[in-house]
């Protein structure tokens, strides 16, 4: 690191705090400004903010590890979630904006009724906003600590204090600026982060030791460039190949995307994704923000990381499966010249701070709007709630810092969250489209996965010869949860008729709402179900065709490029025409 590198890093921090100060006054007007940007976000800014949040400091390292151990196909462990993401685009984004709420937890009390709904909202506000949110920020902190150790040689026992300084800085500007500052800073941070990663990929791939894409392709172990996993077994000790049993493959591709709650990939949207949708200008901006997010998330972000990861396999063959993620950091250290090294370090800080800032703002919105304002202090003015929100942002930062000390495995934290939310996803999807789902349905689907996960963990400790490993554990947790909440739904009363009627008139959902539809024949539903199904299919096809096209451009042949370019070229305009048709239908429905 030279003086030029440090100046670039200092300039990045100065820009971040300047944005925070610029939006501080606007954020202080009301909680709607603080948490939802006054519902005035354009689609491109909301989408950029979403994708920037998912680009955390741990993400390039995780992709590097996946590619080194399981090849490019290893990314299907998260690429499968595009199916659920596109479902949100076409079936849920417009409904979230139409609901007119501040957080996705507020949805609970406009959809359900009674003490059960109030309990569910308060419980999830603390469970997700405090506990789960602190775990997520904790693993992001651990990943940033790994980068600081690798880049600067900071001793492990001192890294915590550097992380604390970065978190304090982030908490200051996010508590000052609210959602407007977070969203604008996210956009700037994403541009910096992606520029740094693209520059690193170009330099490393074209270095004398790698020799360009053709030489890289020839030097990689057989199977590393496969885009699809091997279903079945491979030779023991083989690397660079993702091999899944048929059961594990079905768990990832057939179950995980709709069954499990996971931050940023909640079935039907939720968390900070819902927060961005609800902060957009209108339903059209909500839909396009999530569509842009899905395309950028799956098609644009990963390829610079994948190229560096492939080069690291050739450059650092001494790395093991446990240390493979360090290949990305070694490449930064060894191949970036003065100035560019500072840019990429700033890029990692940008990725880190974007994620932390969003999670602080999102978690605070739960704690304040869905717990403090709802149950503790009901009728105070907006200035009071903004002040308490800013204080809570700092306290949430301290809680996540404390939890960082106890997280030793990032992949273990990922697995814990996926399994503890397995089975909840179906309730989150159906509550918009089936009037019979009630608060007890969601309470059951929230609690049963945690109990099932605990029993499986105890079984694995007491009976190691009969362990139930992830992802096979998903079958047991999801089936138990689904059966449990359906039984509870049928044995308990639906929400009060007045609440259901108000929700139906407000949101106008399609699906299984026959009792309300008969009462209000003058109300059109959101309509266009056939269009939405077709849009979902076309959207998923577009994501995967672009992924395959980019792979063919880098490592394939002319025939493959023409094939996937043709599919992409056909799918994209069809999708655009379909969105235009849906928008026209929506305007007609609104006018009736």
Residue 590 has pLDDT above 50, yes or no: no
CA distance 144 to 125: 27
> What is the per-residue pLDDT for 205?
94
Global pTM reads 0.86
Name, in order, each residue with C-beta under 8 angstroms of 47's C-beta and a sequence gap of 6 or more.
276, 288, 289, 290, 291, 292, 293, 296
Q: What is the pLDDT of residue 543?
A: 95
Q: Residue 591's pLDDT is what?
A: 38
DSSP structure class, residue 512? B
CA distance 358 to 397: 12
Rounded CA gap, 36 and 34, in Å? 6
Question: pLDDT (tens digit, 9 = 90+) per residue, 512-559?
Answer: 999 998 998 888 766 678 889 999 999 999 999 999 999 999 988 889
- pLDDT score, position 90: 93
pLDDT at 235 over 70: no
Q: For residue 434, what are the β-bridge partners? A: 512
pLDDT digits (tens, 9 = 90+) for 469-525: 877 888 899 999 999 999 999 999 999 999 999 999 999 998 899 999 899 888 876
Q: What one-character-per-residue DSSP string does 556-569 give? A: S-HHHHHHHHHHHH
Percentage of the chain lying above the pLDDT 90 cut: 38
Q: Which of 61-75, 132-146, 204-218, 356-370 has the lowest mean pLDDT?
A: 132-146
- What are residue 364's phi and psi, to 5 degrees? -65, -35
Residue range 101-138, pLDDT digits in tens: 989 999 999 999 999 999 999 999 998 888 888 888 88
Asked if residues 336 and 348 have their Cβ atoms less than 8 Å apart, the reply is: no
pLDDT digits (tens, 9 = 90+) for 425-453: 999 999 999 999 999 999 999 999 999 99
DSSP secondary structure of 158-179: HHHHHHHHHHHHHHHHHHHHHH
pLDDT at position 157 is 77
Q: How far is CA 392 from CA 279, 283, 330, 380, 385, in A?
A: 21, 30, 38, 16, 10
- Beta strands per DSSP E along 232-382: 243-244
The residue count of the chain comes to: 592
Confidence of residue 411 (pLDDT cuts 50, 70, 90): low
The closest alpha carbon to 353, from 184, 491, 238, 516, belongs to: 184
Query: What is the per-residue pLDDT for 89?
Result: 93
Backbone angles phi, psi at 573, to 5 degrees: -65, -35
The three-state DSSP-derived secondary structure of 407-421 is CCCHHHHHHHHHHHC
Q: Which tens digits make up the pLDDT trace of 173-190?
A: 778 777 788 888 888 888
- CA distances in angstroms from 536 to 25, 48, 579, listed in the order given: 41, 21, 11
Locate the DSSP E strands across 173-265: 230-231, 243-244
Mean per-residue pLDDT of the chain: 86
| Token pair 């079958």: residue | 475
Q: Which of 15, 52, 339, 323 is nearest to 183 (CA)?
A: 52
In 467-515, the DSSP E strands lie at: none
User: How far is it, in rounded angstroms, from Cα 175 to Cα 182?
Assistant: 9
pLDDT computed for residue 135 by the predictor: 81
The domain ranges of the chain are 421-495, 527-592
């Amino acid at each position: 690191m030279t003086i030029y590198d440090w100046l670039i890093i200092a300039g990045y921090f100065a820009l971040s705090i300047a944005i925070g100060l610029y939006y501080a006054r606007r954020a202080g007007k009301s909680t709607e400004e603080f948490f939802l940007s006054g519902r005035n976000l354009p689609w491109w800014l909301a989408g950029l903010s979403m994708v920037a949040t998912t680009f955390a400091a741990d993400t390039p390292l995780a992709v590097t590890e996946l590619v080194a151990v399981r090849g490019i196909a290893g990314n299907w462990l998260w690429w499968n979630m595009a199916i659920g993401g596109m479902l949100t685009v076409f079936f849920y984004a417009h409904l979230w904006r139409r609901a007119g709420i501040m957080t996705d937890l507020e949805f609970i009390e406009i959809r359900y009724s009674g003490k059960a709904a109030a309990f569910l909202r308060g419980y999830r506000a603390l469970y997700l906003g405090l506990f789960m949110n602190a775990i997520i920020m904790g693993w992001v902190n651990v990943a940033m600590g790994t980068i600081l150790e690798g880049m600067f040689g900071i001793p492990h026992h001192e890294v915590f204090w550097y992380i604390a300084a970065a978190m304090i800085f982030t908490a200051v500007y996010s508590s000052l600026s609210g959602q407007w500052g977070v969203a604008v800073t996210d956009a700037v941070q994403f541009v910096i982060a992606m520029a740094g990663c693209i520059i690193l990929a170009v330099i490393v791939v074209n270095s004398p030791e790698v020799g360009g894409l053709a030489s890289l392709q020839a030097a990689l172990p057989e199977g590393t460039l496969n885009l699809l996993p091997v279903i079945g077994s491979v030779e023991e000790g083989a690397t660079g190949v993702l091999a899944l049993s048929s059961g594990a493959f079905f768990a990832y591709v057939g179950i995980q995307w709709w069954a499990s709650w996971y931050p940023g990939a909640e079935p039907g949207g939720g968390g900070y994704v819902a927060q961005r949708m609800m902060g957009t200008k209108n339903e059209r901006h909500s839909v396009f923000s999530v569509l842009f997010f899905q395309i950028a998330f799956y098609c644009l972000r990963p390829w610079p990381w994948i190229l560096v990861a492939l080069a690291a396999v050739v450059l650092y063959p001494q790395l093991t499966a446990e240390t493979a993620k360090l290949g990305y950091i070694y490449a930064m250290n060894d191949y970036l010249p003065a100035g560019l090294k500072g840019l990429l370090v700033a890029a990692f800080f940008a990725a880190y701070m974007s994620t932390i800032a969003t999670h602080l703002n999102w978690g605070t919105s739960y704690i304040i709007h869905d717990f403090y304002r709802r149950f503790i202090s009901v009728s105070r003015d907006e200035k009071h709630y903004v002040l308490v929100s800013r204080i809570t942002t700092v306290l949430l930062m301290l809680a996540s810092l404390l939890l960082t000390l106890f997280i030793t495995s990032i992949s273990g934290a990922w697995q814990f969250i996926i399994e503890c939310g397995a089975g909840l996803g179906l309730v989150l999807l159906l509550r918009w489209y089936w009037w019979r789902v009630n608060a007890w349905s969601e309470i059951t689907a929230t609690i049963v996965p945690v109990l099932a996960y605990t029993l499986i963990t105890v079984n694995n400790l007491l009976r190691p010869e009969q362990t139930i490993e992830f992802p096979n554990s998903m079958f047991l947790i999801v089936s138990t949860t689904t059966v449990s909440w359906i039984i509870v739904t049928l044995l308990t009363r639906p929400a009060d008729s007045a609440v259901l009627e108000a929700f139906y008139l407000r949101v106008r959902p399609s699906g299984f709402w026959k009792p309300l539809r008969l009462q209000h024949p003058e109300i059109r539903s959101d309509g266009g179900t056939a269009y939405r199904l077709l849009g979902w299919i076309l959207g998923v096809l577009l994501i995967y065709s672009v992924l395959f096209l980019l792979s063919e451009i880098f490592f394939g042949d002319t025939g493959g490029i023409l094939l996937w370019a043709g599919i992409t070229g056909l799918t994209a305009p069809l999708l655009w025409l379909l969105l235009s048709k849906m928008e026209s239908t929506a305007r007609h429905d609104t006018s009736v």
